[in-house]
Structure 1
Amino acid sequence: MSHKSVSAHAGEISLTQLFLIFFKIGCISWGGYMALISVVRSEIVGKHRLLEDDDIMDGVALAMLLPGPVAVNVVAYVGDKIRGPLGGAVCAVAVILPSFLLMVGFAALYLSWGTMVVADKALAGVLPAIAAIILNAGLQMREKALQGPIDIAMAVIAAVLLLTVGGIWIVICIFAVAAVVGILRHQTADADTPAEETRHQPTFGRGSRAIALFLAMCIGLFLFLPQLNITSILVQLFSVFSGMSLLLFGGGYIFIPMIQEAVVNTHGWLTIEDFAASIALGQVTPGPILISATFIGYKVAGLAGAVIATIAIFMPPAALTILASHQLQRFRHLSRFKAAQAGIRTAVFGLIISAAVSLLIGIASEAPNLLAPASIFGLSCFILMYLKKGEIWTVLIAAGLGVLIF
């Protein structure tokens, strides 16, 4: 697929179409950030041909190096690449909306009846299917990511390190080494770059300054809210969640202890039982686990609180991702930058495969009988790789089997 054909497809799609695509993605993306990214890749690269695999892998690498929820940051990056900042905002809202609506419903039922409404059996069936979806996405990317034995070795090392050590610093080290290897292997002469391209690089314009000011406001509000003596619960909710979203790295599970410290111990908004319920419901809804912020906001200040908490946890890091992406465009004409990106994409491929393996290990460690999840995983791989059916059918079939088997 050529860059020219991709640009033509991207130029033709409307914001409404983008919204519907990502709303569908948000409805079926259980299983963590890499599951959502895998479905994004299937829809945007495979089905609609709006971007290339290189773009998705670049977005994953950038999002993993920045604070906030990785999956939504990647979605904002993808939307921005297709239709600019407004496209990024539309895609992020669309992918979060299904989880938001479900969480508001679950929160209302839980707070009224004192019980959680969870589909444990269906989720048990869906998780092996999600592992198959991630694995299939990784395999679809292998042609762009793996160009020879060195790339294969780098991908394997990246996957093993993430599985055995993990953590944001390991990710940073993996990307740094991969970038150096990429520069050593792929660098071409800067003189080959057209002079016209080097003269028209993005600058830190009015839009970028507005985003930077908004992000500075979020951090300032988070750090100095006690001194400001603001009593509005909605402002307090926005301050807590927006500040944490910009200060914490490593994805949703890294946020959980910090959110607990803030909403249970510091502010006393939730009991520990209510907080545990919010995390459990975040796991059984599609989309990112940080949708638990919606439950917390609803408990504290009703529907308005749910909206504010959801915006605060997702919007600032998504805006930061778009800002960083635009500034990185200044270097896209440099051969060293392109070579570093090529190396990092190889590492990203390894991280995607490691996510599928990690999920399978978790399923195996918790399942009393491996036959059922292994069968669902195998069937899901068959549906995706040989029947070439979409992720939505895979998830629905797996959920039905989970209800029947577990």
Structure 2
Amino acid sequence: MKKLLNLFWAFFKIGAFTFGGGYAMVPLIEKEIVEKQKWVDKDEFVDIIVLSQSFPGALAVNCSTMVGYKICGIVGAVVTLLAVVLPSFIIMLMVAMYLMKFRNNIYVNAAFKGINAAVPIMVLVAIVSLSKSLRKSTMTYIIMAAALIVLLFFDINPIWVIIASALFGVVYYGRGEEE
């Protein structure tokens, strides 16, 4: 029971204090589950992030569910899922109830401007952190550059980039031709 409470509290904090969703949450999730709680190691964490972004749904929801399942099975998955979405649900409920009252409040608007400025940096920290555990090879850099170019300069859905990268990985690395 204590482990379930620890899981709930860890993911409740992640859900409550992460603005920007998705990749902005990665540094907080990593700090909590890899460094602080030591529920998974760095390589497992990278695998969880890769799988989480490959499935439909929010990254934090998928990630929390996988970690919860790894630690405490189905019950752990349900607990972490509820924990990570509950703060957002509560916040959105409160915003909906009081939106008109605080809609033009200068301090609320200022707080959101500050939060919005920090979110891209949190995403950058996630990129740097995840890139440290990549096996670096010429082909890895080619795939990263191709994905970056396609996403920046062409109107292509990122899902297609993920699918193409996965298929390329199967063909290239499946033959055992890793550099």
Q: One fold, TM greater than 0.5?
A: yes
SS in 2 for 1:82: helix
SS in 2 for 1:145: coil
SS in 2 for 1:68: coil
1:142 positional shift: 2.8
> Which of 71, 96, 104 is the aligned partner of 1:82?
71
Partner of residue 166, structure 2: 175
1:186 positional shift: 6.4
Q: Is the 8 A contact 1:39 1:133 kept in 2?
A: no
Q: In the superposition, relative to structure 1, how do residues 56 and 106 fare at CA in structure 2: closer, same or farther (>3 Å)?
A: same
Q: In the superposition, relative to structure 1, how do residues 161 and 54 fare at CA in structure 2: closer, same or farther (>3 Å)?
A: farther
SS in 1 for 2:30: helix
Q: In the superposition, relative to structure 1, how do residues 116 and 98 fare at CA in structure 2: closer, same or farther (>3 Å)?
A: same
Tell me whether 1:37 sits opposite 2:26 in the alignment: yes
Show CA shifts across 1:307-328 (max 9, x none).
xxxxxxxxxxxxxxxxxxxxxx
Partner of residue 71, structure 1: 60
Query: Structure 1 counterpart of 2:174, which letter?
Result: I
After superposition, residues 329-340 of structure 1 pair within 5 angstroms as none
Q: Distance in 1 between matches of 2:113 and 2:92?
A: 19
> Which of 88, 91, 94 is the aligned partner of 1:105?
94
Q: In the superposition, relative to structure 1, how do residues 133 and 179 fare at CA in structure 2: closer, same or farther (>3 Å)?
A: farther
Partner of residue 162, structure 1: 151
Q: In the superposition, relative to structure 1, how do residues 161 and 79 fare at CA in structure 2: closer, same or farther (>3 Å)?
A: farther
Q: Distance in 2 between matches of 1:96 and 1:117?
A: 27
Show CA shifts across 1:239-284 (max 9, x none).
xxxxxxxxxxxxxxxxxxxxxxxxxxxxxxxxxxxxxxxxxxxxxx
Q: Distance in 1 between matches of 2:142 and 2:171?
A: 15
1:44 positional shift: 1.1
Q: Is the 8 A contact 2:23 2:126 kept in 1?
A: no
1:115 positional shift: 6.3
Q: Is the 8 A contact 2:60 2:84 kept in 1?
A: no
Q: Distance in 2 between matches of 1:117 and 1:27?
A: 23
Q: Show structure 1 runs of 5+ residues with no match.
A: 1-12, 188-406
After superposition, residues 191-270 of structure 1 pair within 5 angstroms as none
Tell me whether 1:20 sits opposite 2:9 in the alignment: yes
> Which of 115, 124, 132 is the aligned partner of 2:113?
124
Partner of residue 140, structure 1: 129
Q: In the superposition, relative to structure 1, how do residues 122 and 180 fare at CA in structure 2: closer, same or farther (>3 Å)?
A: farther
Q: Distance in 1 between matches of 2:52 and 2:153?
A: 22
Query: Structure 2 counterpart of 1:170, which letter?
Result: V
SS in 1 for 2:103: coil
1:86 positional shift: 1.3
4+ long deviations beyond 6 Å: none
Q: Is the 8 A contact 2:7 2:80 kept in 1?
A: yes
Q: In the superposition, relative to structure 1, how do residues 120 and 114 fare at CA in structure 2: closer, same or farther (>3 Å)?
A: closer
Q: Is the 8 A contact 2:23 2:122 kept in 1?
A: no
Greater relative CO (CA pairs within 8 A, separation 6+):
1
Q: Distance in 2 between matches of 1:56 and 1:163?
A: 27
Q: In the superposition, relative to structure 1, how do residues 36 and 186 fare at CA in structure 2: closer, same or farther (>3 Å)?
A: farther
Show CA shifts across 1:16-40 (max 9, x none).
1111111111121111311123321
Q: Is the 8 A contact 2:9 2:83 kept in 1?
A: yes
SS in 2 for 1:104: helix
Q: Matched residue pairs, number?
A: 173
TM-score (norm 1): 0.38
SS in 2 for 1:147: coil
Q: Distance in 2 between matches of 1:74 and 1:180?
A: 27
After superposition, residues 351-370 of structure 1 pair within 5 angstroms as none
1:114 positional shift: 6.9
Larger gyration radius, structure 1 or structure 2: 1
TM-score (norm 2): 0.80
SS in 1 for 2:175: helix
Query: Structure 2 counterpart of 1:102, which letter?
Result: I
Q: In the superposition, relative to structure 1, how do residues 138 and 170 fare at CA in structure 2: closer, same or farther (>3 Å)?
A: closer
